[in-house]
Structure 1
Amino acid sequence: MLQISTGKFFKGEAHETLRRVIYYTNYQVLRKDERMETPAGSLQPAIGTHGLGAFIGEIIERIEKLPGGPYSGEVIATGGDTLVNDFAAVVSFALNVTCTNDLDLARRLVANERPSLGTDLVPQKYIPRMFDRAVRWMLDDAEDLNRFVSDLMALDRKSYEGAMRAIRRYVIGAHRISDDVNLAYALFVMSIESLAQKFDGFEPAWDDYDLNKRRRIEDALGEVHETAANNVRTAVLANEHVAIARRFREFALANVGPSFFREEAQKASHPVSRPDLSIALRQAYSIRSSYVHHLKEIPRLLVGIPGFHETMEVDGQSTLTFAGLARVARHVIKTFVAQTAKVTTEEFEWRRDLPGQLTMQMATQNWVGNPHGFNNATAQKYLDGFIGQIVGYLLDSSAKFTDIRPVLEQVEALVPGLAKPAQRLPMLALYFIFNSFVHESLQSANYLTFIDRYKSDFDSPSIVSLATHLLTRQNPDWSLPLMENLYESYFIERHHDNTLALGRILEAAFTLRLAEQNRGEGKINRARELITIAVEICPGHVGLQNFEKLNQDGDLNSIDWQAILLPGVAVQS
């Protein structure tokens, strides 16, 4: 939101809303008239409290005006919280100080003299400056802050979002030192890793793949032609996160500039050397992985000894302490921001990134009856939406379903031009289901003739055909093996884009229909297994649970899915 508010994505005038906030900080400004200006906002000293300093932060929120407006419902401002929090994070990161609008958090980070549960030391004992009781104002601070924020705002949108993710992770990681040093260490690593995953340009080679896995694949390829074998290797690499630790390490090293070992190192305690840095980065990533995957605590040497030495020997390997890792992470992120290309204008759908918005699928009744946009490619989406309405109607007869006759006119026009049954079937299912549920007076004029012409399309086992059979109270004439195969494949592929989603009720109906087919062929154990599965597909369904209880032992009663799931409902035809 900070970058959007600079106006770099706008082509016209903007609504402007001034956001003022009190930031609590350990940064002590000696000149009370000192005002720090940046392209994202400004800071002016204020009277502090509880031993803390304070800034008045001012941020101008800009939202581009709609041409010809203002209009009713037009967005002219957001809640402002995202702006306020992001600016605090940027200031905290750039100046390496505490900066937050949360007084309690600032006091806990800076003023506490005793460590919290799960830590050995207070935050200021782990990393220098950021949590010191008082950080003195320096003459170049305002210029450095302005330069960093200017570079950050000038990034292209993708790079800006990556940098802000890294900055947030870094600042959040620093804050977590006060309550969970293990998570804090992992977050510092992740702040670099998030950039490495998106902006390193790393292309994995086959030798980067795990040696044991690589050997098994090579053995399986055996005498396969080399061209085909290379295609397999390429496919494996494309579907795996290969050499993540290596790309993390190489990205960090590539973004460590000369100043890290020179000017910056002069202020560090026992700064890490370049030869040690590669090993230490590998160790840091290993510590992060052990915590994330196994909740393994970081080595005690890194958290139990006060002081700001940047490395410690852990198991004979040079390992970054909090102080060392924090300096590396800040340097890498700042280098990325400084060296990444800048743009003055950019085409970007910024309104989608405004905070406080949720993108949700439009309610079915608002589009399922609209023939515009209906075609072979969208027919299954229409069918999915309409089936949901029909199931709702079956569960509650007072519910309504949409009159989709304008869409069915499109079905009658499009279906004759489609050569394959698979292309026609979603349209035909939509056509058949609607006409099965409405009164004869509302049925399509050519309904019986049209559906009779294509009824054979429903003969082959498919989920679309099955849904149509179930909803129209018909049993498909498919063998048990075919039904079992269809059932297995559906639950493997149910979330694929090209698979019709049945929803809970029809999934349970499918399961019960298969259970009845197994019961009819004497496979009682399989039938009971499927009844149990149906209960768990529709958790909380009283009718299903009662049926399961009644049929746990003894003879198994006939299984009528509609009587169990939808008692008292009759389908019109």
Structure 2
Amino acid sequence: MYFESDNPHETVHRRVLYSNGIRVRADDVELPIGTLRFSTGHGDVRGLQIEVIDRLERTNADGSDSIHIATGGDELVADAAAVVAFGLDVVVLQDQDLTGRVIAGGGSGLRRREKLLAHVLEPARFISDSEIDGLRSFCDQLIALQRPYFESAMRAVRRIVDAVTLSSSDVALSYTLFVAALESLAKDWPAPEAPWSDYEPKKRKIVDAACEELDTTNRTKVQEAVLAIDRLALRRRFQGFVLDHLAPSFFRSEASDARDPIRAVDLPKALDFAYVVRSKTMHELRDLAPELRELPGHGETIWHDGKTVLSLEGLHRICQHVVRQYVERAPRGVDPEFNSSYRSAIPGIVRVRMAPEYWITGFDNFGTSEAPRVFSVLVESLRSTGAGESEGVIDMRTPIRRLGALLRNGSKPADRLALVASIVLWNGWVADELRITEFNETVESHAKLLEAATMYAYALWALGGSIEWSGADLESLAEQREADLKQQGKRLLELPVIFDAVLHLDLAQRASIGGNQERALVHLSKAVELLPGDPELIELESQTAAQGIMPPIDLRALILRTDRAAPQT
């Protein structure tokens, strides 16, 4: 749908899966998403070969050759297998032993129980031609969806397939996954309006009691406000979405073979109960009531605590029906936003931060927002050089000149500190022939920026500069830095992790010299937690607590250690 050329790379991926679904003939079953080949052997579980074609464009959007020829195929096969399992309502797994245990209703241990999903877990379940046609139609509808709806449907399908697989070993998790699959589709669905009489009785009584002295108009306003808030609740949204996606066939033809199917009048409360079960299972690790996990032959509904609720079987049928309705109704066609970025969704791509030496030397087309990043790279390059980890400082003359040009051309006051600090740091460390001198006059006019207590000025001090700050200045800096690290804003100044620890060690040392050992231990504790597991800092903290005074420590020497200095790249 999104390719701009019609001559893509094509790679065939073929896997052997295992399923309880059987066919009398071993003919190839051609689907829009691949080809199925059923085996004609014997047994409750049989091999099922699946073949999918991986297609990728040969060129990028700019016309250059793409480095992507094929994916590993695992994600593609797994998605195709999930669609087949959902579409045929059978088990399809890559592990033969696991498939056998699921079909048998669990292992042979103490937790073995009868199957709670009798139809989908039926051994050697015959698949008719009409079911194959239904799968083919479902695949056609699914892959025609606009991308966001396709992704939503696939997430729900995967969770439903997982729920079926877990139904024999962990009923509570299986029940939760069924509900979660529907909830994921309902995330943007508006909750339906309801009369005040339908509001939860316990809550309604509290509100009514509080409104007793109000006149009818104001009482109605309060009730409407409460209902409006209730419509924002995820539970109401979930319930409204499911009810809206039930076609008449759910209570008619599809219910004709069901045992104890849910009635329309019972369904709203049953859905509400299912959502509460999901919430308690996830947040409180509650187990299901015995009626929901120990009565496999009871049908789609169960009497529980005076209510008619959905069993695992009933919840499974709702999931099957609602997902199919969602796929049938969702918008189709090319999604404009995804059209230009589909390459970023290719499976198997892992994004990591590139080491700066691969890009920083020629970095010359950027704005002031990139200045903190340039400063960070420079600080780490100088630190690693001083520690003997690298042979020399990265050649950053190109980005430093760019920073100087930005400073000279009238940058915003808030951006100037990073520009000035980078140029001063570069010129203060490198050999004479590498220094950038054409901006000296401009830099000197902004030199006072480095006198304030900032992490830029502190980094300059840590690498050999000088500062004259009071303890109060340093305390304020440490508090602001801690807040910035917690917020992790887009323009956070990243420094080698040792720098933040040294800032607190500096404060600890000052506090200890001043006789405030309690405050020294507070800062030592923060230093340890900024450099977790560091043996030297842990020992320093222990000695200070035992001796009642902090042993002297060379902060700059600590910065030039060769371990635990920089973020992972």
Band of TM-score, shorter chain: 0.7 to 0.9
Rounded to whole Å, the distance in 1 between the matches of 2:516 and 2:124 is 77
Match of 2:250? Answer: 260
Match of 2:241? Answer: 251
Counterpart residue identity of residue 103, structure 2:
V
Rounded to whole Å, the distance in 2 between the matches of 1:181 and 1:115 is 16
Q: Is the 8 A contact 2:11 2:70 kept in 1?
A: yes
Rounded to whole Å, the distance in 2 between the matches of 1:446 and 1:521 is 45
Tell me the alpha carbon deviations over residues 282-315 of structure 1, each in whole angstroms, 9 at most, x when there is no partner: 1111111111111111111101112142122322
Residues 1:9 and 1:454: Cα distance change in structure 2 (over 3 Å): same
Q: Is the 8 A contact 2:117 2:313 kept in 1?
A: yes
Counterpart residue identity of residue 88, structure 2:
L
Residues 1:329 and 1:113: Cα distance change in structure 2 (over 3 Å): closer
Residues 1:429 and 1:39: Cα distance change in structure 2 (over 3 Å): same
Where does structure 1 lack aligned partners over 5 or more consecutive residues?
Answer: 1-6, 216-232, 569-573
Of 471, 479, 484 in structure 1, the residue corresponding to residue 475 of structure 2 is 484
Of 493, 500, 503 in structure 2, the residue corresponding to residue 507 of structure 1 is 500
Q: Is the 8 A contact 2:277 2:288 kept in 1?
A: yes
Match of 1:357? Answer: 349
Rounded to whole Å, the distance in 1 between the matches of 2:454 and 2:286 is 48
Tell me the alpha carbon deviations over residues 206-227 of structure 1, each in whole angstroms, 9 at most, x when there is no partner: x99xx89xx9xxxxxxxxxxxx
Q: Is the 8 A contact 1:120 1:303 kept in 2?
A: no
Counterpart residue identity of residue 247, structure 2:
G
Of 19, 39, 45 in structure 2, the residue corresponding to residue 25 of structure 1 is 19
Match of 2:99? Answer: 106
Match of 2:269? Answer: 279
Of 92, 96, 119 in structure 1, the residue corresponding to residue 89 of structure 2 is 96
Residue 161 in structure 1 maps to residue 151 in structure 2: yes
Residues 1:294 and 1:458: Cα distance change in structure 2 (over 3 Å): same
Match of 1:143? Answer: 133
Rounded to whole Å, the distance in 1 between the matches of 2:536 and 2:432 is 32
Counterpart residue identity of residue 117, structure 2:
I
Residues 1:429 and 1:287: Cα distance change in structure 2 (over 3 Å): same
- Please identify, of 559-568 and 146-155, the stretch whose mean Cα deviation from structure 2 is larger: 559-568
Q: Is the 8 A contact 1:435 1:447 kept in 2?
A: no
Tell me the alpha carbon deviations over residues 368-415 of structure 1, each in whole angstroms, 9 at most, x when there is no partner: 232422321211122223223233334335443311112222222221
Counterpart residue identity of residue 507, structure 1:
D
Rounded to whole Å, the distance in 2 between the matches of 1:69 and 1:371 is 21
Q: What is the root-mean-square deviation in Å for CA atoms of aligned residues?
A: 3.2
Of 503, 516, 525 in structure 2, the residue corresponding to residue 532 of structure 1 is 525
Residue 270 in structure 1 maps to residue 260 in structure 2: yes
- Please identify, of 420-429 and 87-96, the stretch whose mean Cα deviation from structure 2 is larger: 420-429
Match of 1:65? Answer: 58
Tell me the alpha carbon deviations over residues 513-533 of structure 1, each in whole angstroms, 9 at most, x when there is no partner: 222333344322101221232
Match of 1:375? Answer: 367
Match of 1:200? Answer: 189
Counterpart residue identity of residue 16, structure 2:
I
Residues 1:57 and 1:551: Cα distance change in structure 2 (over 3 Å): closer
Q: Is the 8 A contact 1:369 1:407 kept in 2?
A: yes
**Structure 1 length as normaliser, TM-score?**
0.84
Match of 1:42? Answer: 35
Tell me the alpha carbon deviations over residues 135-161 of structure 1, each in whole angstroms, 9 at most, x when there is no partner: 123231121011000000000111111
Counterpart residue identity of residue 126, structure 1:
L
Q: Secondary structure at the match of 1:19?
A: strand
Tell me the alpha carbon deviations over residues 209-261 of structure 1, each in whole angstroms, 9 at most, x when there is no partner: xx89xx9xxxxxxxxxxxxxxxxx9xxx9xx9951111111111111111111
Rounded to whole Å, the distance in 1 between the matches of 2:394 and 2:154 is 45
Identity percentage of aligned residues: 30
Rounded to whole Å, the distance in 1 between the matches of 2:282 and 2:61 is 52
Shift of residue 565 of structure 1? 4.3
Q: Secondary structure at the match of 1:16?
A: strand
Residues 1:546 and 1:52: Cα distance change in structure 2 (over 3 Å): closer
Match of 1:220? Answer: none
Residue 152 in structure 1 maps to residue 142 in structure 2: yes
Tell me the alpha carbon deviations over residues 146-181 of structure 1, each in whole angstroms, 9 at most, x when there is no partner: 100000000011111111110000001111122211
Rounded to whole Å, the distance in 2 between the matches of 1:448 and 1:544 is 40
1:257-406 counterparts in 2 under 5 A?
257-343=247-333, 347-406=339-398
Rounded to whole Å, the distance in 2 between the matches of 1:246 and 1:69 is 47
Q: Secondary structure at the match of 1:513?
A: helix
Rounded to whole Å, the distance in 1 between the matches of 2:533 and 2:106 is 52
Tell me the alpha carbon deviations over residues 36-59 of structure 1, each in whole angstroms, 9 at most, x when there is no partner: 322111223323354423333222
Residues 1:14 and 1:564: Cα distance change in structure 2 (over 3 Å): closer
Q: Is the 8 A contact 1:383 1:429 kept in 2?
A: yes
Rounded to whole Å, the distance in 2 between the matches of 1:185 and 1:275 is 22
Residues 1:555 and 1:104: Cα distance change in structure 2 (over 3 Å): closer
Q: Is the 8 A contact 2:105 2:112 kept in 1?
A: no
Rounded to whole Å, the distance in 2 between the matches of 1:187 and 1:158 is 21
Rounded to whole Å, the distance in 2 between the matches of 1:114 and 1:100 is 16
Residues 1:317 and 1:437: Cα distance change in structure 2 (over 3 Å): farther
Q: Secondary structure at the match of 2:70?
A: coil
Q: Is the 8 A contact 2:85 2:91 kept in 1?
A: yes
Rounded to whole Å, the distance in 2 between the matches of 1:156 and 1:439 is 58
- Please identify, of 103-112 and 141-150, the stretch whose mean Cα deviation from structure 2 is larger: 103-112
Match of 1:434? Answer: 426
Residues 1:459 and 1:565: Cα distance change in structure 2 (over 3 Å): closer
Residues 1:116 and 1:151: Cα distance change in structure 2 (over 3 Å): farther
Shift of residue 31 of structure 1? 3.4
1:403-482 counterparts in 2 under 5 A?
403-418=395-410, 420-446=412-438, 449-477=441-469, 479-482=470-473
Structure 1: which 4+ aligned runs deviate by more than 4 Å? 67-73, 112-117, 201-205, 446-450
Q: How many correspondences in the alignment?
A: 531
Shift of residue 189 of structure 1? 0.8
